[in-house]
């Protein structure tokens, strides 16, 4: 047996073979062998139980070294907010991951497990991690290089906790802001989303020249496996209802929702997660035509397909009504690894029974295991299965926080600045007698970070380490400037104080997934009252902290300036950097800002397009022609006709190239 790099896996296997008197050469343990040779050799040695174990992903709360060993578990994950201890250090994370890994390595064949986590805007479950702006803010930057650098930083902070796999990026094309996951989408325009898939190159590393299309690529120990999600059409559900039905034709599917997957696969993405949603009434977790027929066969994706959390359970309505059928439908559709995440014994028993009855073919099991092993071999898990603390100093490091601060600056979109170009209110002066900072989101780090921040739906207050917008303002203005903070001042307070100007920071509550579905899209109370009270007395700039456009038109005349800051994450200093003129406004709307929710859904190119602020809008400061170019303005004022024509042409080309009929 050849083990050029000594690891626990090799040691355990050497001891086992010595004890049995079998010192045969094992091709799958030889990193000099081609990946396909190693896969073929290992699969030939595996029992059905070992194969099904590889297809099983369980939650850390039910995992242990014994469970890993006894059930040959192939993967473990942390659900949203699932941590080994409150404010756990990198050492605590690494020790937990290694405990599970040692259990996996102690099995007969010593196949390492892969640990996954939702690092969707930084390593967001982990205390003290750098939390970057959510995807909608990154879409406003229109900066693929920035997103790529964020991927690199995120990979290092995930590796700091001993984890090699993240369920990111979300490449949904959100077509209705009422959807509770809209902030996880970079844009309503698939072209912007396609550009932002460069984050995969940051997470996984640059793919080599002439790399085979569809084959995953992970560059080394400082990179992580990525996951493009949620396949496919999750951003187009009817009325923006999470996990609902996406009703579209072939043009809508191939021209809007599918393009980011083309780019992700070309960039070597390791895994793809299936959507909870349905497509024209067919649950995606059971959609063989798209998962196997299109993703695997037409797009030649060679990584593994993973279900969402309890995703196969939701194939039936109500969920889990017929679990055995759900297992059958999901795996036969082409799902390779199932995020169980708790009741793994029933899942394993059902798969075993279905295979023995011939309902699930062994060829389907072998295809799944082959794909899972390919990712594990490519990322070097067999040679380096155990985590260490070599990346511990990467968590929350200054360079990453500076990068996040840069991302915040570039994500800000200036929607209003005075009543005319000659009466601009921003940038604000750093030297002023007295400034009022008001609003529920001005001094609340949890609100600033949004969902998927320490907890699944986020939280309020000092949930982690970071800089609030209030703290940022105080550190930016001159020492002589008096900064007064009042979350929700009343009229008496305003009349009894004379402020040079006010900054009002309000926005949405925190939410994730279905908890964020909202047909009203209003600012969290008492946000609008705060705007009325403050802006009726003092000249004010309003900063909106939200995961999507919200109702703002009725209050627009009251304010001097309006800034969309999205969900900026831990580095609130980036907001003050731009408000006070150290940097200019460069962000452009990644999605249309509606006048009324009655207009929804409304996207650029629609015949009824009549926005408050159109897609691509964004003012600049001290410019004779603020905002975007005359060509862009003409395009948006005419309902995005250029966009429509280009999209139609692209879709025709894609449909012709695919040569299939899905509907």
Please list, in sequence order, all residues whose beta carbon lies within 8 angstroms of the beta carbon of residue 302, skipping any fewer than 6 positions away: 212, 214, 215, 216, 371, 374
pLDDT at 24: 78
Tokens coding 536: 């009726």
Q: Tell whether 590 and 641 lie within a shared domain.
A: no
Residue 221 pLDDT grade (very low, low, confident, very high; cuts 50, 70, 90): very high
* Residue 13 in domain: no
Average pLDDT of the residues in 604-614: 97
d(C-alpha 136, C-alpha 187), whole Å: 6
Tens-digit pLDDT profile for residues 636-658: 334 344 443 444 444 434 434 44
Q: Tell whether 219 and 200 lie within a shared domain.
A: yes
Tens-digit pLDDT profile for residues 42-86: 999 999 999 999 999 999 999 999 999 999 999 999 999 999 999
Q: Tell whether 571 and 651 lie within a shared domain.
A: no
* Residue 394 in domain: no
pLDDT at 13: 47
Q: Which of 332, 351, 377 is the last residue of a domain?
A: 377
Q: Tell whether 457 and 337 lie within a shared domain.
A: no
Residue 16 pLDDT grade (very low, low, confident, very high; cuts 50, 70, 90): very low
d(C-alpha 326, C-alpha 297), whole Å: 23
Q: Tell whether 568 and 592 lie within a shared domain.
A: yes
pLDDT at 223: 98
Cis peptide before 318 (omega within 30 of 0): yes
Average pLDDT of the residues in 334-338: 99
DSSP 298: I
- Could you tell me if 291 and 364 are in contact, meaning their C-beta atoms sit under 8 angstroms apart? no
Q: Tell whether 640 and 602 lie within a shared domain.
A: no
- Could you tell me if 132 and 146 are in contact, meaning their C-beta atoms sit under 8 angstroms apart? no
Checking if the pLDDT of 374 tops 50, the result is yes
- Could you tell me if 376 and 111 are in contact, meaning their C-beta atoms sit under 8 angstroms apart? yes
Residue 420 pLDDT grade (very low, low, confident, very high; cuts 50, 70, 90): confident
Structural domain for 223, as ranges: 43-377
pLDDT at 150: 99
- Chain mean pLDDT for the chain: 92
Q: Tell whether 151 and 229 lie within a shared domain.
A: yes
Average pLDDT of the residues in 109-133: 98
* Residue 11 in domain: no
pLDDT at 419: 81
Q: Tell whether 297 and 326 lie within a shared domain.
A: yes
Tens-digit pLDDT profile for residues 239-290: 999 999 999 999 999 999 999 999 999 999 999 999 999 999 999 999 999 9
Average pLDDT of the residues in 330-339: 99
Active site residues: 308, 513
Checking if the pLDDT of 630 tops 90, the result is no
Q: Tell whether 538 and 574 lie within a shared domain.
A: yes
Q: Tell whether 350 and 435 lie within a shared domain.
A: no
371 or 638, which is more confident? 371
Long-range contacts of range 593-600, CB-CB < 8 Å, 24 or more positions apart?
Answer: 593/415, 593/549, 593/552, 593/564, 593/617, 594/177, 594/549, 595/553, 596/551, 596/553, 597/178, 597/519, 597/520, 597/521, 597/551, 600/176, 600/177, 600/178, 600/240
Q: For residue 254, which of 645, 590, 658 has the smallest C-alpha distance? A: 658
* Residue 499 in domain: yes
Average pLDDT of the residues in 145-164: 99
Name the domain count of the chain. 3
pLDDT at 583: 98
Q: Tell whether 603 and 637 lie within a shared domain.
A: no
* Residue 218 in domain: yes
Checking if the pLDDT of 508 tops 70, the result is yes
* Residue 2 in domain: no
Average pLDDT of the residues in 586-611: 98
Average pLDDT of the residues in 463-473: 98
Q: Tell whether 445 and 358 lie within a shared domain.
A: no
Tokens coding 570: 């831990």
- Could you tell me if 286 and 329 are in contact, meaning their C-beta atoms sit under 8 angstroms apart? yes
**Cα 463 from chain centre:** 20
* Residue 176 in domain: yes
Q: Which of 330, 361, 377 is the last residue of a domain?
A: 377
20 or 634, which is more confident? 20
pLDDT at 376: 98
* Residue 3 in domain: no
Checking if the pLDDT of 614 tops 60, the result is yes
DSSP 454: S
pLDDT at 7: 53
pLDDT at 23: 55
The helix, strand and coil proportions of the chain, stated in percent and rounded to the nearest 5, come to 40, 10, 45
Q: For residue 244, which of 314, 168, 312, 292 has the smallest C-alpha distance? A: 314
Q: Any idea what the CATH number is for the domain that residue 205 is in?
A: 3.20.20.300
* SS3 state at 253: helix
Checking if the pLDDT of 126 tops 60, the result is yes
Q: Any idea what the CATH number is for the domain that residue 454 is in?
A: 3.40.50.1700
pLDDT at 653: 43
């Amino acid at each position: 047996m050849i083990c050029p790099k000594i690891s626990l896996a090799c040691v355990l296997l050497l001891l086992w073979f010595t004890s049995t008197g079998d010192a045969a050469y094992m091709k799958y343990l030889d990193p000099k062998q081609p990946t396909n040779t190693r896969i073929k050799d290992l699969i030939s040695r595996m029992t059905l139980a070992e194969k099904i174990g590889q297809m099983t992903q369980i939650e850390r709360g039910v995992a242990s070294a014994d469970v890993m060993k006894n059930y040959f578990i192939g993967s473990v994950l942390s659900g949203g907010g699932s941590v080994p201890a409150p404010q756990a250090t990198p050492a605590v994370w690494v020790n937990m991951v290694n405990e599970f890994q040692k259990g996996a390595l102690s099995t007969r064949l010593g196949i390492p497990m892969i640990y996954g986590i939702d690092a969707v805007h930084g390593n967001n479950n982990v205390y003290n991690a750098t939390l970057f702006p959510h995807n909608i803010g990154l879409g406003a930057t229109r900066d693929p290089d920035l997103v790529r650098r964020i991927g690199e930083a995120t990979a290092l902070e995930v590796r700091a906790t001993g984890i090699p796999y993240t369920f990111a990026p979300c490449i949904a094309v959100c077509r209705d802001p009422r959807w509770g996951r809209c902030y996880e989408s970079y844009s309503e325009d698939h072209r912007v989303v396609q550009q932002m898939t460069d984050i995969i190159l940051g997470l996984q590393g640059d793919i080599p020249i002439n790399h085979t299309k569809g084959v995953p690529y992970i560059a080394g120990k400082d990179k992580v496996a990525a996951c493009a999600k949620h396949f496919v059409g999750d951003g187009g559900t009817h009325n923006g209802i999470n996990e609902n039905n996406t009703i579209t034709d072939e043009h809508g599917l191939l021209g809007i929702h599918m393009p980011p997957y083309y780019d992700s696969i070309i960039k070597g993405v390791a895994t793809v997660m299936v959507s909870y949603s349905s497509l024209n009434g067919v649950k995606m977790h059971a959609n063989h035509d798209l998962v196997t027929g299109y993703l695997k066969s037409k797009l030649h994706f060679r990584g593994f397909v993973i279900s969402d959390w309890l995703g196969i359970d939701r194939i039936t309505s109500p969920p889990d009504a017929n679990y055995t059928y759900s297992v059958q439908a999901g795996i036969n559709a082409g799902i390779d690894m199932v995020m169980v995440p708790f009741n793994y014994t029933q899942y394993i028993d059902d798969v075993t029974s279905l295979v023995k009855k011939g309902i699930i073919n062994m060829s389907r099991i072998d295809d799944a295991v082959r794909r899972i092993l390919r990712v594990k071999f490519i990322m070097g898990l067999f040679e380096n299965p155990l985590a260490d603390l070599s990346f511990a100093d990467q968590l929350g490091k200054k360079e990453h926080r500076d990068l996040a601060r840069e991302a915040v600056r570039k994500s800000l979109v200036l929607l209003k600045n005075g009543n005319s170009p000659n009466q601009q209110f921003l940038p604000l002066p750093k030297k002023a007698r007295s400034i009022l900072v008001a609003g529920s989101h001005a001094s609340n780090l949890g609100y600033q970070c949004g969902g998927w921040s320490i907890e699944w739906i986020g939280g309020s207050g000092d949930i982690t380490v970071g800089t609030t917008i209030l703290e940022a303002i105080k550190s930016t203005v001159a020492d002589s400037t008096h900064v007064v903070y009042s979350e929700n001042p009343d009229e008496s307070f305003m009349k009894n104080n004379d402020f040079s100007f006010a900054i009002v920071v309000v926005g949405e509550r925190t939410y994730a997934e279905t908890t964020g579905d909202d047909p009203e899209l209003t600012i969290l109370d008492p946000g609008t009252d705060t705007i009325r009270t403050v802006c009726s007395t003092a000249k004010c700039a309003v900063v909106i902290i939200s995961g999507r456009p919200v109702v703002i038109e009725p209050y627009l005349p009251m304010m001097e300036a309006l800034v969309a800051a999205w969900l900026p994450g831990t580095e609130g200093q980036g907001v003050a950097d731009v408000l006070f003129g150290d940097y200019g406004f460069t962000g452009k709307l990644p999605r249309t800002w509606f006048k009324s929710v009655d207009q929804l859904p409304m996207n650029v190119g629609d015949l009824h397009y009549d926005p408050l602020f159109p897609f691509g809008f964004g003012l600049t400061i001290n410019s004779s022609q603020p905002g975007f170019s005359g060509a862009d303005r003409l395009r948006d004022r005419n309902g995005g006709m250029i966009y429509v024509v280009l999209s139609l042409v692209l879709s025709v080309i894609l449909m012709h190239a695919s040569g299939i009929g899905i509907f």
